[in-house]
């Protein structure tokens, strides 16, 4: 019985030699990742309510896909693997976002306004009537 070694994109040897990515491409992706990190920080400067979390998660999704495609060499693998990764990351972001939105409903409300001034002291309370004595008899 003979076995055949299938020829792959990595060469006829069958050893999984890595794909060499040009340094310019890696540097470009690095600059894009730095820009997206700055954009994530800048998104916190604008108050958009519940939309802020979706913006941050969307940027995180793009960053994760870029890292996986270029630094983990999925771009040079089967396109199906890249699509599976992107879909999986999108679902993770979706599930995290829905969980955060749902957990905000149960968290105590935090007011952004300044704390209220202290209350004025309450006036002294009227003395209570001893047991068995009515208030009307005390007024007489």
CA–CA separation, 15 vs 24, rounded Å?
A: 26
pLDDT of 48: 86
CB 64 within 8 A of CB 89: yes
pTM of the model: 0.56
Q: Which residue positions in the chain have pLDDT lower than 70?
A: 1-18, 107-120, 122-123, 125-140
| DSSP 8-class letter at 105 | H
CA–CA separation, 38 vs 43, rounded Å?
A: 9
CA–CA separation, 100 vs 96, rounded Å?
A: 6
Helices 79-106, 51-66: crossing angle, 10 deg rounding: 160
């Amino acid at each position: 019985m003979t076995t055949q070694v299938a020829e792959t994109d990595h060469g006829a040897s069958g050893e999984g030699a890595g794909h060499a990515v040009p340094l310019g491409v890696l540097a470009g992706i690095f600059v894009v990742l730095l820009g997206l990190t700055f954009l994530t920080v800048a998104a916190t400067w604008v108050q958009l309510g519940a939309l802020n979390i979706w913006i941050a998660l969307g940027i995180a999704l793009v960053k994760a896909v870029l890292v996986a495609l270029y630094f983990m060499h999925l771009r040079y693998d089967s396109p199906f693997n890249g699509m599976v990764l992107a879909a999986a990351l999108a679902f993770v972001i979706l599930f995290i976002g829905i969980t955060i939105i749902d957990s905000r409903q149960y968290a105590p409300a935090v007011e952004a306004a300044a704390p209220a001034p202290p209350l004025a002291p309450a006036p002294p309370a009227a003395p209570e009537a001893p047991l068995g004595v009515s208030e009307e008899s005390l007024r007489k």
